[in-house]
Structure 1
Amino acid sequence: MQDPKAWFDGRARVMFVHAHPDDETICTGGTLAALSEAGMEPLLVTLTRGEQGEVVAGPLEALAATHGLAVVRQNELRTALGMLGVERHSFLGAEPARAEGLPPYIYEDSGMAWGSDGRATAAPDASPDALTSAPAVEALNDLLAAAYQAGAQGIVSYDDGGGYGHPDHRLAHRLSRAVAHALGLPFWEIVADPDSSASATDRRAEGSDPHSPDDPDSPAEAVEHHDVSPWLDRKVAALRAHGTQLTVDGDDIVHVGGQREPIGRIESFRRL
């Protein structure tokens, strides 16, 4: 079994930056569980509460586009992190992820639309309180405060395309990489499962995973692969906690739109 203490160059206290509740589990849940069990103290910063996300058909469907959805998704995230063993979490804009001297602030989900190329693009009606509408320097200072106060030794987030293009994911990459540069920390981007039979682009075209990150062309040796099979049960339990956003069917995640995605047993990262 791989030793999580050797992952990310053996650095403890790696900060993971994700845009919405459920992203942390889909993309990096096994890694978070492994690091937590190994006593490596990973920190998760979630930028928004997923206010604009769709809701799985069923008794909670009426929550879509209501204030109550943010509350439910916060509770889902809390449950998921309990399953993963992650104790150190904050939302951007709230302590400790808030610049000193500023009152708490809620960055809202920016929403998205699907472009003609099958990738996500900016929503035409993002609210003034959306993450992408806020001054970038304010969000940057908040994330900088989170990393500094936590003693982060490295940062993980999406690739520069935001995985499937969501504007909040793309901004998460830019903010995270800027903070890593400012603090002189290594930065790792999330890449697609290298053992998948199809690329992330192919899976989107087939109506599968809208969350899987792209896998940019790069030498294979530049990618760090984490076999999270020993922690898969925890990852699956955490996925089930995100009941407004997805369901688990056997070895697959089923997203709101019906897209199916295999639950990843390999989670991969490239240091930039």
Structure 2
Amino acid sequence: MSHDPWQLLEDAATVLVVHAHPDDESLSTGALLASLSAAGIRIELVTATRGEEGEVVPGAIAADEDRPLDLIREREVDAAGAHLGIAARHLLGTAPALAPGASPRRYRDSGMEWIREGLAGPSPSAGSDSFTHRPLEDAIDDLVALIDHVRPDVVIGYDDEGTYGHPDHVRAHHVTAAACARTATVRLEVSSAPQGSISTSGGFSWREHPATGEAVRAAVDSYRTQLTVLGTDAEGIRIRHVGGQDDVVALRTGLRVGA
């Protein structure tokens, strides 16, 4: 097997990408996915939770809206996926991302709280049905079922830092690593280095995706409940999260082959 993650992707026909919440696919891998889909690679997305615990940008939901937040966020992820060229979307715990013979199960957003700037920790209010508290083996079994169904050439997931340390991201890393090991599927990890910078440590290989700016901006802008797009510059798409943190969605990705 090649140890060059980009060569593995160039040789792939189908890629499965694993994320924790709606919007993670655009914020963490939007430029990568847009680039891959433009190259004719089939992209399928599985999201572990529905993002039920996310705060909402004031005014983003109409006063007469009667849909729950999870359904609104489902529409947001569908819109974002269309901009990025995602061919199919799945929810962990819902067939085909469900272990054979198991009843459908829901992995609830675990929530988070900031430990310090740029680093998240678990929410003390996360319940027993949250992604981080449900049995790890259930989630692994469900992802194995999806891998068996999709038969991807490559699975893309978080590295062990889970971007900014969100507990659901870290959990998704462990689930993805175990499921890929069990199915002998090639796994690539996305670097958690700050989006606006390139770190050469950790064995990551970086690539720019300059032609994806329009698609990524449109995808990110689909998440009106979660963030506000401030503009585009040489660094990427500048956004403000619902909590007030300014961030940049860079048009570059660092990848390495998972151990």
TM-score by length of 2: 0.87
Contact 1:193–1:266 (CA under 8 A) maintained in structure 2: no
How far apart are the structure 2 equivalents of 1:96 and 1:30?
27
Question: 2:215 corresponds to which letter in structure 1?
Answer: R
Give the CA deviation at 1:261: 1.5
How far apart are the structure 2 equivalents of 1:105 and 1:194?
33
TM-score by length of 1: 0.83
Contact 1:95–1:104 (CA under 8 A) maintained in structure 2: yes
Match runs of 1:40-119 below 5 Å: 40-60=41-61, 68-115=68-115, 119=119
How far apart are the structure 1 equivalents of 2:127 and 2:63?
21
Distance 1:105 1:12, change over 3 A: same
Give the CA deviation at 1:217: 3.3
Contact 1:5–1:38 (CA under 8 A) maintained in structure 2: no
Contact 2:49–2:92 (CA under 8 A) maintained in structure 1: yes
Compare 254-263 and 236-245 and name the one that shifted more.
Answer: 254-263
Q: Choose between structure 1 and 2: higher strand proportion.
A: 2
Contact 1:94–1:105 (CA under 8 A) maintained in structure 2: yes
Contact 2:196–2:250 (CA under 8 A) maintained in structure 1: no
Match runs of 1:131-170 below 5 Å: 131-170=131-170
Structure 1 residue ranges without an equivalent (≥5): 200-214
For 2:230, which of 242, 246, 249 is the aligned residue?
Answer: 249
Q: Over aligned residue pairs, what C-alpha RMSD do you find?
A: 2.5
Give the CA deviation at 1:262: 2.0
Give the CA deviation at 1:10: 2.0
Distance 1:87 1:9, change over 3 A: closer
> CA offsets, 1:26-72, max 9 Å, x none?
11111111222222112211000100011112242889xx9711010
How far apart are the structure 1 equivalents of 2:55 and 2:31?
25
Question: 1:58 corresponds to which letter in structure 2?
Answer: G
Displacement over 4 Å in runs of 4+: 4-7, 192-195
How far apart are the structure 1 equivalents of 2:111 and 2:62?
17
Question: 1:264 corresponds to which letter in structure 2?
Answer: A
Compare 53-62 and 228-237 and name the one that shifted more.
Answer: 53-62
Aligned residues: 248
Residue in 2 that maps onto 1:175: 175
Give the CA deviation at 1:119: 2.1
How far apart are the structure 2 equivalents of 1:224 and 1:150?
26
The answer to whether residue 210 in structure 2 is matched with residue 229 in structure 1 is yes
Question: 2:46 corresponds to which letter in structure 1?
Answer: V
Residue in 1 that maps onto 2:33: 32
Give the CA deviation at 1:194: 7.9
Q: Secondary structure at the match of 1:268?
A: strand
Contact 1:5–1:40 (CA under 8 A) maintained in structure 2: no
Contact 1:55–1:61 (CA under 8 A) maintained in structure 2: no
Question: 1:45 corresponds to which letter in structure 2?
Answer: V
Question: 1:169 corresponds to which letter in structure 2?
Answer: H
Residue in 1 that maps onto 2:235: none
Question: 1:119 corresponds to which letter in structure 2?
Answer: L
For 1:267, which of 242, 253, 256 is the aligned residue?
Answer: 253
Contact 1:180–1:187 (CA under 8 A) maintained in structure 2: yes
> CA offsets, 1:177-208, max 9 Å, x none?
111111222221111468835x7xxxxxxxxx
Distance 1:62 1:20, change over 3 A: farther
Distance 1:195 1:72, change over 3 A: closer
Distance 1:178 1:190, change over 3 A: same
